[in-house]
């Protein structure tokens, strides 16, 4: 039995980690996982899916769901077995992390360190994972009675260059933040590089939190505080949902992320008088 896995790109460490977890989960019961990539372009998942279906896969795992696309509905009409992973459309069977909780934990960590002006590198609005983390950020601010400031939220892709550009934009503000939450480790790495180029120290001048806990972030010159996503659990749940099909008791299975504090976050400096 073969399972088709559609991801934006395998050069993205997060997607590579998901595929590795799915391949390992498949191997436990004699399956194989066949991957196709889309470069996260609208409509490219249709071509990838047709290619995998022609190769005889028994179901699809998609990590490419977009809020601006209805591909999942098309698969349902075609009676093709599928499950969404990491991202969801809120309707289809999905195995995801609790992104809203993760965004809340990241922001709550910075608030607990005394930061009240927290920049947000928000990721793309079409990805439910990014939107959930933004919602968690806003919930933590609201709970702390801190008004949301739109100029502190910068849209981005999930790439390193986008993270650097967003950090430069945040640091150019007249009242710049003392901390940044990047909803993806790649954008956090880009932000770390931009801050260094600006002569700013992490965490002495700016605290920084990422998301996903990809392997490299614990080995950076300043190890990154981040949220660890349980990819193995998400992969196993995705296959369970695929096997259960319409008989699934719960069409959305949610895995809980864990805050991993490292050296990129520190206490806020007292305000100058």
- Please tell me the pTM assigned to this model: 0.94
What secondary structure does DSSP assign to 25-79, as a single string? HHHTTT-EEEEEE-TT-TTHHHHHHHHHHHTT-SEEEES---TT--HHHHHHHTT
pLDDT in tens, 177-202: 999 999 999 999 999 999 999 999 99
Reported as a pLDDT band with limits 50, 70 and 90, residue 247 is low
Asked whether 36 and 48 are in contact (CB, 8 A), the reply is yes
Reported as a pLDDT band with limits 50, 70 and 90, residue 248 is low
Q: Per the omega criterion (within 30 degrees of 0), is the bond before 273 cis?
A: no
- Identify the pLDDT of residue 29: 83
- Alpha carbon distance, N-terminus to C-terminus of the chain: 68
Domain 2-97+229-257 and domain 100-228, same fold? Reply is yes
Whether residue 46 is predicted with pLDDT greater than 50 in this model: the reply is yes
Please provide the CATH number assigned to the domain covering 100-228: 3.40.50.2300
Domain definitions of the chain by residue range: 2-97+229-257, 100-228
Cα torsion angle, 192, 86, 63, 236, sign: positive
Reported as a pLDDT band with limits 50, 70 and 90, residue 120 is very high
- Identify the pLDDT of residue 273: 41
Stronger pLDDT, 245 or 35, i.e. the higher one: 35
Please provide the CATH number assigned to the domain covering 2-97+229-257: 3.40.50.2300
């Amino acid at each position: 039995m073969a399972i088709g896995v559609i991801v934006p790109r395998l050069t993205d460490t997060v997607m590579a980690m998901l595929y590795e977890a799915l391949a390992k989960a498949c191997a436990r019961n004699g399956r194989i996982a066949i991957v196709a990539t889309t470069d996260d372009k609208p409509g490219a998942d249709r071509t990838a899916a047709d290619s995998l279906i022609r190769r005889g896969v028994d179901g699809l795992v998609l990590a490419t769901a977009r809020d601006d696309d209805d591909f999942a509905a098309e698969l349902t009409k075609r009676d093709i077995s599928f499950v969404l992973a990491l991202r969801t459309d809120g309707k289809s069977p999905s195995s995801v992390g609790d992104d809203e909780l993760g965004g809340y934990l990241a922001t709550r960590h910075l608030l607990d360190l005394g930061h009240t002006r927290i920049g947000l590198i928000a990721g793309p609005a079409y990805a439910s994972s990014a939107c959930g983390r933004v919602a968690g950020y806003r919930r933590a601010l609201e709970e702390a009675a801190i008004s949301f400031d739109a100029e502190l939220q910068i849209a981005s892709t999930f790439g390193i260059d986008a993270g650097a550009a967003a950090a430069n934009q945040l640091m150019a503000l007249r009242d710049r933040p003392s901390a940044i939450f990047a909803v993806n480790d790649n954008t956090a790495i880009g932000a770390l590089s931009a801050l260094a180029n600006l002569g700013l120290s992490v965490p002495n001048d700016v605290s920084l939190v990422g998301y996903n806990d990809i392997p490299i972030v614990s080995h950076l010159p300043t190890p990154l505080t981040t949220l660890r996503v349980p990819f193995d659990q998400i992969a196993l749940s995705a296959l369970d949902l695929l096997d259960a099909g319409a008989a699934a008791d719960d069409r959305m299975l949610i895995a809980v992320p864990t805050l991993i504090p490292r050296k990129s976050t520190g206490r806020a400096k007292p305000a100058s008088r």
